[in-house]
């Protein structure tokens, strides 16, 4: 049986989209291959889940522990250096495997992977690009480091594959790597928890909006969203609306102040585990997505799976996912007034033509079921792995 090593650059208990996707991939591939899983002790923020709970969900996956790093906090930023003994242990594990899959991370991680490839020439490496490909700030440190890593990896051509989550990402990566090295595999989600539950077909007495994700402004644009809700509710307290938030992050105190001001309209549930989050999607009607950048938003796919209409900022991922869809209401710009206008537009549709509103919800669900289910992603990964190993 083929052996696959999957590496999570962050600690699994970090519990965000990347870690969830890593676990889903490991659990899916274990049906066909022998799967080994390692992570690190790097936690950019507080962990959201318990490691043992995570591992209990991954029966049949061989968890090999953490690649431990020495961590240093300098001017608010965490720097990491892997312990040599852990790197040596990782090399020994890689030697036994046919495929290594790891998300694109930092120079140190990429260097370790490439050194292992030079030592063990028969090992194939797949690098997944799950982070934003670039920052809007052209001369930012993020862009410099990202381009430097891409150029470094481009020096290594044999048995190194690059996994793009979107067609846009594929085109971008082909500027640095040969076309045959870049593989587009759809980013899918497990829809069983969403499609097994029918939505309430009766009109509710309120239009329910959901924001599910990290509470920050730099990446998620949440401060602008909160300002928009304050403007909306200050002008009209007779609207039949309710806004529900699920998550955690630095803007939680700002959100809580708004909850205190408008307790009838806004609710903060805090962090909800991945096993329970589908229940919160399903009891809402509209999803609010205000990210400034996102390569391919998992949260939008989950919202579509639950049959939610989407109000969305324009990011590379959201445009590719939602372009031309009736159930998507794009923000022309990420401003409070523009968010207010889109909320009112959706509210008017719900209030005046509920039957059409329901049709859009069904189209939303059909779109993700037909195009972005985890079953599709898993089959594409299996085809890639079988193709690569057959060519060894």
What's the average pLDDT block by block, 10 residues per block, for the chain (392 residues)?
Answer: 94 87 92 95 81 78 93 78 92 94 86 86 90 71 81 81 90 91 90 72 87 94 97 92 95 97 96 88 96 87 94 92 95 97 97 95 92 92 92 60
d(CA 385, CA 210): 38
Closest CA to 46 of 15, 68, 9, 81: 15
The string of pLDDT tens digits covering residues 52-106 is 877 777 778 999 999 999 988 777 677 889 999 999 999 999 999 999 999 988 7
pTM of the model: 0.83
Homologous superfamily (CATH) for 3-188+373-390: Glycogen Phosphorylase B; (3.40.50.2000)
Q: For CATH 3.40.50.2000, list the domain ranges present in the chain.
A: 3-188+373-390, 192-371
**CATH fold of 192-371:** Rossmann fold (3.40.50)
Cα angle value 166/10/134 (rounded, 5°): 40
Instruction: Specify the 3-state DSSP secondary structure of 95.
Output: helix
Residues 6+ apart with CB under 8 A from 365: 194, 195, 304, 305, 306, 307
């Amino acid at each position: 049986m083929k052996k696959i090593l999957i590496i999570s650059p962050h600690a699994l208990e970090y519990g965000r989209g990347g870690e969830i996707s890593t676990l889903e991939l490991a659990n899916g591939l274990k049906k066909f291959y022998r799967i080994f899983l390692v992570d690190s002790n790097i936690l950019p923020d507080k962990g959201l889940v318990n490691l043992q709970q995570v591992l209990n969900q991954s029966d049949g996956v061989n968890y090999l522990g953490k690649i431990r790093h020495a961590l240093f906090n300098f001017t608010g930023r965490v720097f990491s250096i892997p312990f040599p003994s852990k790197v040596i242990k990782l090399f020994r594990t890689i030697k036994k495997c046919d495929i290594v899959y790891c998300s694109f991370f930092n120079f140190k991680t990429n260097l370790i992977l490439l050194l292992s490839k030079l030592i063990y020439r028969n090992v194939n490496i797949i690098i997944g690009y799950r982070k934003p490909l670039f920052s809007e700030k052209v001369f930012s440190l993020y862009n410099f480091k990202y381009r430097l890593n891409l150029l470094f990896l481009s020096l290594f051509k044999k048995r190194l594959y690059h996994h793009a989550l979107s067609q846009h990402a594929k085109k971008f990566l082909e500027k640095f790597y040969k076309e045959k090295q870049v593989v587009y595999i759809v980013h899918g989600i497990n829809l069983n928890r969403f499609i097994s539950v029918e939505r309430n077909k009766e009109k509710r007495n309120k239009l329910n909006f959901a924001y599910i994700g990290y509470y920050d402004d730099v990446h998620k644009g949440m401060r602008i969203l909160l300002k928009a809700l304050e403007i909306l509710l200050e002008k009209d307290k007779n609207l039949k609306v309710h806004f529900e938030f699920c998550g955690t992050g630095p803007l939680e105190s700002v959100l809580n102040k708004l909850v205190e001001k408008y307790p009838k309209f806004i609710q903060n549930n805090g962090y909800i585990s991945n096993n329970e989050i589908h229940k919160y999607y399903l009891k809402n009607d509209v999803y609010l997505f205000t990210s400034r950048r996102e390569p391919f938003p998992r949260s939008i796919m989950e919202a579509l799976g639950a049959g939610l209409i989407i109000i969305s900022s324009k990011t590379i991922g959201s445009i590719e996912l939602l372009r031309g869809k009736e159930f998507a209401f794009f923000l022309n710009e990420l401003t409070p007034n523009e968010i207010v206008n889109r909320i009112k537009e959706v509210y008017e549709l719900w209030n005046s033509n509920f039957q059409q509103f329901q049709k859009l919800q069904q189209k939303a669900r059909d779109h993700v079921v037909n195009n972005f289910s985890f079953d599709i992603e898993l089959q594409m990964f299996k085809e890639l792995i079988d193709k690569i190993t057959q060519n060894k």
